[in-house]
A and B are shown apart, each in its own frame.
Chain A
Amino acid sequence: MPEKNYADAMLDVLSRFMDEDPNFVVLGNEVLGIGPEGAQFEPFQKKYGDRIYFPPCSEAAYTALAAGAAMCGHRMFAHLGLASFTYPAISSIANEISTARTSSGGTIGVPATLHISHGLLHGGGAQHSESPFGMYWNLPGIEIAVPSGAKEVKGLLTTAIKSDNPTIVLTHAFMYGAEGDVPDGDFEIPFGQAEIKREGGDVTIVTCSMMVSVALGAAEELAGEGIEAEVIDLQTLVPLDEKTILDSVSKTGRLIVADEGRMHCGVASEIAAMVSEKALDSLKAPLARVARLDVPVAANQVQEAYISPDAEKLVSAARQIVGEVPAAAA
């Protein structure tokens, strides 16, 4: 498999749909982020320029435009920019996109893909650091994919665009340059299928997006201490692969959920609740949530780091629930 970066893997997918669907449109500014990978867009733009739209700073209106076109059966790809910029578009997402199929009695679909950059920029402050997994997961009717790398975005973005449902695909803003072995040609990752990225018998770490690589780093460190962590990449939040999580927890008896989103009502909370309902008997120790604390993100990196999940906090949580150190010391 050729090695390429995340941005190129995205372009593989977008080019494929440009080639096979004359109505497919890419709508958005800085589709490949604002880092150096942004330059990779240029050949794509040259080739498909008449179906690439750079909309005004009107996230609400162009999200709704994508929705309205999708309601007419068109597959639309809209890049909304950083997650904070999607909040002005919440009404278009929550009121229009999320509800259309149900409210129409199943007669109107919205096959639009909304792509969002998320996560800490290390200095982004309150309005350039959001990871609103939980906020969007709270909406019915929308599939949510959270790729953890270049191969994953190729497979998941393809499935998202092909889906007859509206989908949100969240890319960490620092991940566009992430390299990996990306399959050539058609490649799909089915939704609702988590991937075990590392096997281990002592503790399960469930996570998604860029936290997957953080968790794998933590797992290496833990391995040096004799703790074998199993790392599960969710790949999609909606639908959620409960079975892979529950099977792993029944094997390890211990669960950590790592989430770049906030502690309350987020990925960590939801998975903790699900496991508590369905596999409490499997747990040998209280589960742990390692997530962003419930405060706005400060622009300085000291406070930003204090409130954010990282490898060190994962290692510490793992040591605690595996019982290597007393709870009070964690």
Chain B
Amino acid sequence: MTETWDADRRPGALERMLLIRRFEEAVDKLFHEDQAFMTHYHLYIGQESTGVGLMEALGPDDKLATHHRNHGHIISRGSDPKKALAEILGRETGLNKGAGGTLHMSDPDLGFISTSSIVGGSISLANGAAFALKQEGGDAIAVGLFGDGALEEGIAYESLNMAALYDLPVLFVCENNSPGALGSAGGGFPTSVSAVEDLTTIPRTFGIPVETVDGRDLEAVNELAAKAVEHCRARKGPYFVHAVTERWAGSQPLWPQLVTGELDVSMAWDDSKMSGEHEDWYRNHDPVLIYARKLLDSGDLTQDELTEMDQRATAAIAEAREFALESPRPAPESALDHVFA
């Protein structure tokens, strides 16, 4: 399966994953250490492979609806990390002039429609984008991104029904990060409260083709996404991708914490670096390390190249951090600027 990727695509994909990881680490530190923003936030750590693998399969005219865990989607689609970080800090220079914040960050220039942080909202809005694109007659598609919790909302069922009924060119991407989650009963972030054991039975009920993929495997995600995108482009109706990832330990508590520390890329080649409580994560679940090891093993990348790549990502995010922190806050009265056209 991985042989479908040309070697020259691989380093770029890994670098994008690294950029997301360093971005999310910066977000966490801006909250806990700098106290530069106050609101609840959601990190994409552990799911970078799904976002990058998916975005690699999309074209520039495709539309996307993302949700509260949007940072990785926005960065992997190619948004400027400076503007994205500034948005999270509520600054005037942010993607949405600071009004959207982490929960509603969107980048319409890259095809993102409004970002809903209402669970299930992205599914319903993606249907609308798909409806519009079908009406226009081209081959662009819409992507609805959501977590497994969205399938607990009534609107998800209504929307799957309508997508099937109207043969909408919409790719539903369910990022199921519940494996390994503690859930509310275990003292963790609320997660997966469903009588349905196999979530793929839900789209199947509506006649929507569905496949499960290991969300930690970037190239596997990309291969399935490419097939699903082709299905939607050919106007054969909706497609449902179920990408399963292990819950990152830092997303177990209600407020995220970098419990696995900042990523140390030398773990990709130095076995002795991995130990302690999170050894299993470093070895088997961290998608950035998984892909880095793959490229080192295949010879697509050297240790030095990986180190340099990480330095570039780290420097880009350091620059974004400075930009965001130095950016002005919006004028108070500008709160009234964009209520109406």
Contacts and interface: CB of A to CB of B under 8 A. Distances in A.
Contact of B65 (A23, A68, A104): A68
Contact of A95 (B106, B118, B131, B337): B118
Interface in B314-341: 337-341
Nearest to A91: B118
B313 interface: no
A102 interface: yes
B113 A105 contact: no
Given A23-B135, A91-B155, A105-B100, A70 B128 contact: yes
A73 interface: yes
Interface string A209-239: 0000000000000000000000000000000
B121 A62 contact: no
B129 A68 contact: yes
Contacts of A61: 124, 127, 155, 158-159, 161-162
B195 to A, nearest CB: 21
B126 interface: yes
B338 A140 contact: no
B341 A163 contact: yes
B99 A102 contact: yes
A72 B63 contact: yes
A96 B341 contact: no
Interface stretch (B90-98, B246-254, B256-264, B285-293): B90-98
Interface string B153-165: 0110011011001
Interface stretch (A7-15, A52-60, A144-152, A284-292): A52-60
Nearest to B166: A53
A64 B125 CA distance: 5
Given A23-B135, A65-B162, A71-B114, A103 B128 contact: no
Given A61-B124, A64-B125, A56 B339 contact: no
Contact of A103 (B99, B133, B340): B99
Interface residues of A, number: 42
Given A91-B118, A104-B104, A105-B338, A69 B135 contact: yes
Given A60-B155, A95-B116, A105 B99 contact: yes
Contacts of B99: 102-105
Nearest to B160: A61
A236 to B, nearest CB: 12
A70 B127 CA distance: 11
A102 B162 contact: no
A164 interface: yes
Interface residues of B, number: 44
A67 B125 contact: yes
A305 B341 CA distance: 41
A66 interface: yes
Interface in B230-276: none
Given A96-B114, A104-B100, A64 B127 contact: yes
A212 to B, nearest CB: 25
B128 A71 contact: yes
Interface in B80-110: 94-100, 104, 106, 108
Contacts of B97: 105-106
B305 to A, nearest CB: 38
A127 to B, nearest CB: 18
Nearest to A24: B135
B124 A60 contact: yes
A319 interface: no
B131 A102 contact: no
A129 interface: no
A108 interface: yes
Interface string A289-319: 0000000000000000000000000000000
A71 B129 contact: yes
B129 A92 contact: no
18 contacts: A25-B131, A56-B162, A58-B161, A61-B158, A62-B158, A64-B124, A64-B159, A68-B124, A68-B130, A68-B131, A71-B128, A72-B129, A96-B121, A101-B338, A101-B339, A103-B96, A105-B100, A107-B96
Given A64-B128, A105-B338, 5 more contacts: A69-B132, A74-B132, A105-B98, A106-B97, A107-B108
